[in-house]
Chains A and B, each alone.
Chain A
Amino acid sequence: MPYLGGEDALRELRRALANPHVQADRLRYRAAVLRVIRHMAQGADVSGLFPEMVKASAAADVVQKKLVSLYVRAQAPRQPQLALLAVNTLRKDCAHPSPAVRGLALRSLCGLRMPGIQEYLRQPLLSGLRDKASYVRRAAVLGCAKLLKLQGDSEVDGALVNELYSLLRDQDPIVVVNCLRALEEILKKEGGVVINKPIAHHLLNRMADLDQWGQSEVLTFLLRYRPRSEEELFDILNLLDGYLKSSSPSVVMAATKLFLMLAREYPHVQTDVLVRVKGPLLSACTSESRELCFTALCHVRQILGSLPGHFSSHYKKFFCSYSEPHYIKCQKMEVLCELVNDENVQQVLEELKGYCTDVSVELAQGAIFAIGNIARTYTEQCVGILTELLGLQQEHITSAVVQAFRDLVWLCPQCTDAVCRALPSCEDAIQDSEGKQALIWLLGTHGEKVPNAPYVLEDFVENVKSEMFPAVKMELLTALVRLFLSRPAECQDMLGRLLYYCIEEEMDMAVRDRGLFYYRLLQSGVEEVKRVLCSPKSDPSLGLLEDQTERPVNTWASEFNTLALVYGRERWALVTAYQPAEPSYACSPCTDSRSRDTESLISEESKEILKAHPDTGNLTLISDVYLTAEEFEKTWLSLEMSCHLSLPWCGTVQPDAIQTALHVVHIQTIAMSKAGVQPWKAYLSAQDDTGCLFLTELLLEAADSEMQVSVKQSEAKPEALQTFLSVLRTVMGAVAGLGS
């Protein structure tokens, strides 16, 4: 079968659709329509079949109707003329006795995205809202939202909004939820649907009728409602209590969020809710669906940040299993790091140790860093494990272990001796920059405890010429100077060599400067060096401080069950930094996103002024507009002077250079006097993308005076004029610089 069928396939399909025998046979007719859809789904252009397809939609077969409506919806924006054919059929179907057909027709009708369809929509929509079949009402309610989207910016129809609000009392739960959704979209500019007390209570009472999607959505809408009194608040919480035990994780999480937000002032209620939601979260964490598992793990991590030890008794649930993807294992390791306590530390470390030899480098290093993190509290065991890992002599493992050691020694000085005993003999295995830096730092700072520290560093000094990373060299300098203070006899010679190298031969600025710095520092005497360099070697208080960064629940309650929490705060900020303007498809002019910020800054009355100049500071000169001299003259005479200014100028004029320079910025030269003529004159014209003309006269009375510039503008746009002037000024400035 020709997939991206060209003309032949199209012709063949058309023949099939038009064949009366095919049309007579329900199944064959449907198969032909199906083939068209299949072509469309593959990306082929089947727009030529539009009339045949519209005809096919008139058949009685519901499946066929659906298929055709799929086709029509996809093709209508491209062929608005022909789409009117479909509108008629669909409107007829809107009065069909079968509710399924009515609903389908209404849905398709509203789904046609083409300008001018609104007038055909209104009547069927209004009758759809009052239809006795709920299926039709559902489609009609969402149709209202679609209609508004088609209309673009125009006024919100108050009657329609009222109708939708009254439909909140509809029998059918899906109609209710759809009403909320439609109102939210229609009233977006006014801050969305308003949830007042009667509506909130009504929704709360209807909760039981809704399915899980409806429930989780209504729970989200209820976030907007602020209970008037404490009594009401707890009534609501009691009413919603059951939803914390729902079998659907989405409902449970939506309910949890509502609880956390409503009980903002009652920390004990929040804690209680988090305890109760532990079960569902854990079962989501062990769910068969990896994706659900991942989402739940992100939330567990967040909760652990506020309630450390919350999941400690369930630590085994967070052990990685062999077949899990990498991203889940990483999440689980971080969770394990956070929930470790006196009881489970042995098992958790045992488990993490298993990951350290994983075949994936990132995972292995992640596990080592995780152990390093735990070591801040359970130093001894962790240092033991890390030291054991050094024996593997694997490049990535040794590097990660040494880095973990460095971070650890800074926070927990009590483990310095153990670390120093482990350090010798690992320098051969480290190849990467991070690991080398860590090792050198350790040797420099605690070199007096490592017997062979100078000799290890000496190896680095020998090979410094082939060292690729400047950071390593800098670290080496610092470390060696430090070690020199404690072990001068062994270090003096190589320190001299290193300094010599760094100052004489090193090409990297930073390293050379560092070398010079130490050189001069050494010149000022050992005492001075000691005073500068002997800073504290550890900061145990930092470790204590870091432990106590428990964040209150309220800092993240609003992010619970949103994507922000899943991405993490930093990445979320990155992700949302790019926020495109609301996508639009119809002829709706969407508000300029750039003016949004300024609007809030400036008071009401000034808004219209801003709107009059939408192209603020955004001047684009068009290149391919050419005025004849006559046209220029006529326009020049007819316009008022917009601006006059004089530019500094010295020396004579070089017309060629000016012309070339102006051409670069799309300013056309109409006429220009020859070089050396006095007074020298030139006439320029330019046009921006909105069609505004800028006509300019340059006049130079005598050499070494100022160039007089007069500009006329066909439309009064001060901002554009300013931009134009600055362009002109830049060009003339550049040319003036050339001339002299």
Chain B
Amino acid sequence: MKPPLRPRLAPARYVTGPGEAAGEAEGRRKAWSVREKRALLAALRDQAALGVPEFQARPLRERLPRRSEAEILSFLCRLRGRAAREAVSTQYRHCLEQQRCRRSQVPAPIEVWLELAETLAEGLEEATVAAFSQVLTVAATEPLSLLHSVPPRPTATDGDGETIAGGDPVTPRSFPRPDVPEGFAVDFQRVYEYLARLCRGAKGPALPPGESAVVLALLSSLPPELSALDCAALRGHFRGVYGALTAPCFSETDAPGPPSQPGGRSPAMLSQIFILSSKGDRLIHRDFRGETHGTGADLADVFYRRITSLPGDQAPVFMAHEGRHFVHVRHAGLYFVAMATPDAAPFALVEFLNRLVTLLRDFCGPLSEKNVGLNFGLVYELLDEMVDYGYIQTTAPEVLRNLVHSEPVATKPFSLLDLGSIGLFGAETQQSRVAPSSAASRPVLPPRGGEQSARNEIFVDVVERLTVVIAANGTPMKVDVQGEIRLKCYLPGSVELRIGLTEEFCVGKSELRGYGTAVRVDECAFHSSVKLDEFESGRVLKVTPNQGELTLMQYQLADDIPAPLPFRLFPSVEQDPPGRLRLYLKLRCDLPPKSQALNVCLQLPVPKGVSSLAQELSSPEQTAELQPSTKSIRWTIPRCQGGSQLSALFKLEVPGLTRASLLELGPANLTFELPTHTCSGLHVRFVRFPGSTPCPPQRWVRYLTHSDSYVLRL
């Protein structure tokens, strides 16, 4: 049963010998299988055992019923040709080997050493050799010194050893002495003779093993002895050779030192900043250091290519490029990219870029490709004042305002009367004194010589982000509220402002204020310019705002919010037998009846095999569609009044529906915006200017809650 080793043959298509011309057509037609070849081989062996001098095709044929005699013969012919070729080439190679052997006998170790020494000492060879030769000649001819250099033999006759050892203090003790077997003697004269002859260029006599060992030991102990020689040039040369030998080659670039090494570090800085559009167009490019990086290829292009073709396992925020690092933040479809040194602190980089975005929004209005393009002079000026030589100078808006002199170019002229655009804030509440939503997004830089009254305004925005996970049974699993109070100030001068928050506002789990109706947050942090001396007593923030946006306070609240969550979902899923799914969704809005939710959108993943969707929605303004890319239903509801209930019926065709594929249904994700509503219940009681100003500025207080992630499990 043992299979013999498989002979490795070149595939038949490569072999085109002249001998196979006859059977070529047939041979081509049917390639020889391994089994057939093996059968042939066995047959041939049998024949050989019988002692038949020449192949006979017929007996072979018996073994190979599927082959004709001609085929077999042509195959054999091919085999014979190959064998001949193999033999010739092997012979030839062998012949070459022999020639080479004859030409250069294997060098003795001492010759190898000599050659090495020669190459090392080349250029100064003569001087060195002459020096050695003199010493050696002296040594070889002086019988006295010869006598002295016979090493003491521990096993030799005592008296002899003692006298010699005692009489010679300069015995080279540093030489490693191998264990000398009894009766082993080294004839140093021969050694000296050998060396002296070699030095003169003649070939020395063959050395017996003992003497060879001494010569080798001598050679190996040369380096430490060299320092005793006074030849500066030789030393220099050796060092040069050493340097050349140990110099790293190009491909293995020098290993970098650890980053903490003080000498190797470069100060953290930004060498370039650029802003790219979503299509990769370069809107702004500022090179602070004038350093060309490596190939000098356009970095903006390099960055864009890399960000768009990033492998899946890499996070794109930081990307290395030729020893520098791209850091970017994405905002409003634009890439804000900085190029930083490896020592830079990641938090500072990201924070700076975020700050840059905020500042640009302050100075130029809402960010867009068009707006940045229009205001590029202003952006350059800003960048110039913010960063010098790659180091951040200042990002304080009030300082920058004094330094920057360009005027913003607005994309659309702002007008307070423009109420046509109904946005997030205000307009829907039908109250008389409302600011249009675009009011707070225009640039804070005062238009020079423009109308005075329009900019005497201040906006206090309470903005909350809601992160919620609701379990299938309706209990909230995770409720997270991230809130901040933003101040957007268009006042010309600096006046102290008092902002009163809900009096029952308490921080931390333990604090208690008011009578059970407390507004509680877990943590809160204030901007450094906020004065808190009245915060403890009356929950009043005092601040002297400058023009621009300022985040007064940030707070967080987890798990325990006073009002019910704004939305609940009641799904029911039925499975009609042949691959059909009936999905009945009821969405209840638990807001107070006066409030409403805007731009509600529910995204529900459905089984991947879904093929079509039929829908019944409760009102015509709603829409629903199946998104093939994410395999999900997208149900959009433009507005939803508090206390109302919406329903939708979806019928899905899912071929090959199994019970398990219901796992793929859900969880639903809801996005929405709640104007004039805060989930924490935090309210601003008043915004006051303590000093009496002749015409009090317009004050706007606005509330907004929007969903960061609102997940409803099914």
Contacts and interface: CB of A to CB of B under 8 A. Distances in A.
Interface of A: 34, 37-38, 41, 43, 62-63, 66-67, 70, 77, 100, 107, 111, 113, 135, 138-139, 142, 145-146, 174, 177-178, 181, 184-185, 188-192, 211-213, 216-217, 220, 224, 245-250, 252-254, 279, 283-284, 286, 288-292, 294-296, 298, 316-317, 319, 321-324, 326-328, 330-331, 347, 351, 354, 357, 359, 362, 388-389, 391-394, 500, 503-505, 512, 519, 523, 558-559, 561-567, 575-580, 582-585, 593-598, 601-602, 606, 609-610, 613, 616-617, 643, 648, 650, 718-719, 722, 740
A317 B480 contact: yes
Interface stretch (B106-114, B158-166, B246-254): B246-254
A250 B351 contact: yes
Given A393-B658, A566-B318, A41 B284 contact: yes
Contact of B322 (A190, A391, A512, A580): A580
Contacts of B380: 37, 66-67, 70
Contact of A291 (B284, B353, B465, B605): B353
Given A211-B395, A613-B240, A331 B345 contact: no
A138 B477 CA distance: 53
B449 interface: no
A247 B527 contact: yes
A617 B247 contact: yes
B491 interface: no
B3 A504 contact: yes
B253 A316 contact: no
A124 B268 CA distance: 27
Interface residues of B, number: 126
Contacts of B315: 294, 327-328, 330-331
Given A41-B284, A580-B294, A295 B478 contact: no
Given A290-B330, A610-B243, A321 B467 contact: yes
Contact of B345 (A189, A254, A283, A594): A254
Contact of A561 (B104, B242, B345): B345
Nearest to B631: A359
B667 A354 contact: yes
Contacts of B259: 558-559, 562, 564, 576
Given A295-B347, A606-B243, A563 B318 contact: yes
A213 B265 contact: no
A503 B5 CA distance: 9
B433 interface: no
B478 A319 contact: yes
B711 A322 contact: yes
A319 B467 CA distance: 10
B664 A37 contact: no
B346 interface: yes
The 9 A-B pairs at the shortest CB distance, nearest first, are namely A321-B709, A391-B660, A327-B315, A583-B291, A322-B669, A250-B348, A575-B320, A606-B239, A316-B478
Contacts, number: 318
B599 interface: no
B246 A598 contact: yes
B285 interface: yes
A216 B381 CA distance: 25
B236 A576 contact: no
Contact of A740 (B99, B262, B396): B99
A436 B249 CA distance: 44
A213 B352 contact: yes
B75 interface: no
A181 B267 contact: yes
B282 to A, nearest CB: 8
B317 A138 contact: no
B708 A63 contact: no
Given A145-B389, A254-B345, A292-B354, A598 B317 contact: no
Interface in B329-360: 329-330, 340, 342-348, 350-354
B554 interface: yes
B122 interface: yes
Contacts of A595: 243, 247
Given A331-B315, A388-B663, A253 B244 contact: no
B415 interface: no
B245 to A, nearest CB: 9
B348 A289 contact: no
Contacts of A392: 660-661, 663-664
B3 A359 contact: no
Nearest to B351: A250
A291 B352 CA distance: 11
Contacts of A111: 290, 389
Contacts of A561: 345-347
B556 A648 contact: no
A567 B345 contact: no
A609 B239 contact: yes
B652 interface: no
11 contacts: A66-B380, A100-B403, A184-B267, A224-B262, A291-B353, A391-B663, A563-B346, A579-B256, A593-B253, A616-B243, A648-B104
Contact of B708 (A321, A328, A523): A321
A291 B335 CA distance: 12
**Most central of A181, A192, A213, A601 by chain B CB within 10 Å:** A213
B526 A185 contact: no
A192 B631 contact: no
Contacts of B256: 576-577, 579
A505 B6 CA distance: 10
Contacts of B658: 391, 393
A585 B352 contact: no
Contacts of B477: 316, 347
B260 interface: yes
Contacts of A593: 253-254
A62 B381 CA distance: 11
Contact of A295 (B239, B246, B346, B388): B346
Nearest to B667: A354
B503 to A, nearest CB: 24
B25 interface: no
B494 interface: no
Contacts of A602: 239, 242-243
A295 B348 contact: no
A578 B282 CA distance: 27
A227 to B, nearest CB: 17
B260 A558 contact: yes
Given A292-B351, A566-B317, A606-B243, 10 more contacts: A37-B377, A111-B389, A145-B389, A192-B263, A213-B352, A213-B394, A290-B317, A291-B330, A391-B663, A504-B6
Contacts of A37: 376-377, 380
B488 interface: no
Nearest to A42: B282
Given A63-B405, A211-B396, A562-B343, A192 B265 contact: yes
B523 A283 contact: yes
Contacts of B260: 558
B709 A181 contact: no
B191 interface: no
B394 A211 contact: yes
| Residue from B123, B294, B392, B527 whose CB has the most chain A CB atoms within 10 Å | B392
- Give the one of A174, A357, A577 with max B CB within 10 A: A357
Interface in B292-336: 292-294, 312-318, 320, 322-323, 325, 327-330
A498 to B, nearest CB: 13
B429 interface: no
Contacts of A565: 346
B66 interface: no
Contact of B391 (A142, A191, A500, A566): A142
A601 B315 CA distance: 39
Contacts of A503: 3, 6
A565 B294 CA distance: 25
B266 interface: yes
B588 interface: no
Contacts of B187: none
A740 B244 CA distance: 35
